[in-house]
Amino acid sequence: MSERQNLSWTACDTLAAQGKKPSIGLVREWTIATTGAKKGSDGDVQKDINDWYADLLKLKRDKGVAGLPDAVATLTRELWRFAVESANDGLAAERTALAAEKAEAEKLIDLAQEDTLAAIEIANELKGKLTIANAALLGRDEQIKRLEQTLIEQRATLQAKDERIAGLGGELSRKAEEHAAGLAELDGLRKHSLLEIERARAESRQWKAEFTRVETESKAAAHAYREKISTLDSELSGAKGRLGAVEESLAAANKRTEIVEAGLSAAKPENSIVRQRFASAKKPGAGKLIRRR
């Protein structure tokens, strides 16, 4: 008898003494609790249990039950037969369950193998992708180095441009200040010019009004002078027709001239030319006065 079988039979004796029916689970549990290790497969343990039942039945049949009546011995043998048959039925059920578990395990193994092959293929594919990715990363690293170098150069260029912009900003500020000062000066000149223009316009309006007034007065005086000259011309024409009364007519004309001169003395100096021309009418033989344009 092997060590495993002996251990299994000891477990069966112990379980039977405790009033428990030996089974694979109970024998395995007792074996592990006793030795701290699993002994044999489930099939081996079930075979040991079957052998234990067979040996026990054979022992009872061959030797009988010592000290017991035949009826009691018969009952005991029937009890052991029933126990063996029950054990066989349990064994068949356990075998069926084990067969189902084995089939399921084989399916799981097949699936695991398939998964393993698929995993190997995926791993190989990933290795290829990883190789490509590593190559791409190396290229990216070189590109990044070139970009960093370009960035350094661009930063230097930008710094130079910033310095140039700062200089131009200072120059622009100075010119802006000069421009603002020029605008202030120009605004002052513009305001002064507007004041001068307004003053000139006021003077122009004043002179224009004065000119209009003088012109109106001059036209009125000239109109009066023309009427008077027309009268004098009529009188002179009459005097020419009356040769006999020339001196008398001249005296009367001189008197009227004096009256006109008195009126002219009150007029503006601008009308002096009219008085001169009118005074010349006193001379004998003078023609008509030239009208003032």
Instruction: Please say if the pLDDT value at position 284 is more than 80.
Output: no
Asked if residue 289 has pLDDT above 60, the reply is no
Residue 69 clears pLDDT 60, i.e. is over it: no
What is the distance of C-alpha 31 from the center of its chain? 75
- 3-class state of residue 225 by DSSP: helix
Which pLDDT belongs to residue 244?
A: 66
Is it the case that residue 30 has pLDDT exceeding 70?
yes
Residues 54, 59, 64, 67, CA torsion sign:
negative
pLDDT attached to residue 293: 42
| Cβ burial 105-116 (10 Å sphere, 16+ → b, else e) | eeeeeeeeeeee
| pLDDT band at 291; cut points 50, 70, 90 | very low
3-state secondary structure of 93: helix
Q: What is the pTM of this model?
A: 0.27
